Structure 1
Amino acid sequence: MAENENAQAAAPQAPQVKMNVLAQFIRDMSFENILSQKGATGEVQPDVKVQVNLDAKKRQADNQYEVVLKLKVDSTSKSNGEHLFLLELDYVGVFNIEGIPEEQLHPYLLIECPRMLFPFVRRIVSDVTRDGGFPPLNLETIDFMALYRNELLRRQAATAAGEVKADA
């Protein structure tokens, strides 16, 4: 039993991951109520499309990173395809992150950090659509891991296509 304890004590400890949200804020937001500009009335069945983009960059201070969740919500009428509203939102989180190995930092910034920001983005979208004269839009949970994987696959495919063109 003493050997087991000594082996555990001698084993290198994994670095303790520390993450703090230092700030979060709306960098840019635009809401356009196209339906009211046209003066349309009556019952409308919306078709809502949501696009999500992520960006992350290192800040000047040690261990600080800025993650931007960019959301575009485009709502059109199912019956005639006319635009109802357009919402664009850039929501930023500033994070202090320590103890993450360099090779794991990129996925951490684009998966875990957006997960922390998403509930706030969901509330903003709900409030803005409600205040804009529509029923509150409650966004479905976003799978940031799947988004990250899909982007990696897209980049690999683009790189492979570029190599094929270069060889031709």
Structure 2
Amino acid sequence: MADTPETNGAANPATGNAAAQAPKITQRVIAQYIRDMSFENILAQKGAKGEVQPEIQVQVNLDARKRGTENQYEVITKLNITSKTKESGDPLFVMEVEYAGVFQIEGVPEEQMHPYLLIECPRITFPFLRRIVSDVTRDGGFAPLNLETIDFLQLYRSELARRAQANQAGQGGETPASA
């Protein structure tokens, strides 16, 4: 049997160079914590008549910033959750939460750091944030709100598209006058 690159330990030229060029990405979660949170049970304050059918709206915002320590970043997921009645639109509860993760990240090229921070890092912290939302809504007197998984890649792409549209609108010459 003839020696092949796989059997004699020699590097395969087609894959050896790619492996040597690709940096090894390391990531550690240093800490996770609630930066800010509020829950307002409007239903309990005002009362309700009859059966209440809730309609839930969830807004997600992300923020990332470099910390003073080398290769450390703080990524914040902000949720604004509003529950209203389907019939009248009366508010039932409002929850705002900022959940942060501190990450030690090495090996990610600088041009890829922004998407990495706003896609990969929130994926890691989201299950913990989901649990907090579930517990707080349950402890607030409602059925536990189990958030669906958020597609952070799609959220990132949507934000890039929104910013591109805003830039195009701003460069279009005349801007609409405000009233």
Q: The TM-score by the shorter chain falls in which range?
A: over 0.9
Q: Deviations over 1:101-132 (max 9, x none)?
A: 01110000000000001000100000000000
Q: What amino acid maps onto 2:124 in structure 1?
A: M
| Corresponding residue for residue 24 of structure 2 | 16
Give me the whole-angstrom Cα distance separating, in 2, the residues matched to 1:13 and 1:55.
30
1:79-98 equivalences under 5 Å are 79-98=87-106
Q: What amino acid maps onto 1:93 in structure 2?
A: G
1:148 matches 2:152: no
Q: What amino acid maps onto 2:95 in structure 1?
A: L
SS in 2 for 1:72: strand
1:102 matches 2:116: no
Please tell me the root mean square deviation across aligned C-alpha atoms, in Å: 1.9
> Cα gap change, 1:160/1:10 in structure 2, threshold over 3 Å: closer, same or farther?
closer
SS in 1 for 2:65: strand
> Cα gap change, 1:74/1:9 in structure 2, threshold over 3 Å: closer, same or farther?
closer
Question: Structure 1 stretches of 5 or more lacking a match?
Answer: none
Give me the whole-angstrom Cα distance separating, in 1, the residues matched to 2:148 and 2:50.
26
Question: Structure 2 stretches of 5 or more lacking a match?
Answer: none
SS in 1 for 2:171: helix
SS in 2 for 1:164: coil
Deviation at 1:40, TM superposition (A): 1.9
1:5 matches 2:11: yes
Question: What is the percentage of aligned positions where both structures have the same residue?
Answer: 62
| Corresponding residue for residue 77 of structure 1 | 85
Deviation at 1:24, TM superposition (A): 0.4
Give me the whole-angstrom Cα distance separating, in 2, the residues matched to 1:18 and 1:104.
14
| Corresponding residue for residue 36 of structure 2 | 28
1:133 matches 2:141: yes
Q: What amino acid maps onto 2:53 in structure 1?
A: Q
| Corresponding residue for residue 118 of structure 1 | 126
Deviation at 1:6, TM superposition (A): 6.3
| Corresponding residue for residue 167 of structure 2 | 159
| TM-score (norm. length: structure 2) | 0.88
| TM-score (norm. length: structure 1) | 0.94
Structure of higher CA gyration radius: 2
1:57 matches 2:60: no
SS in 2 for 1:154: helix
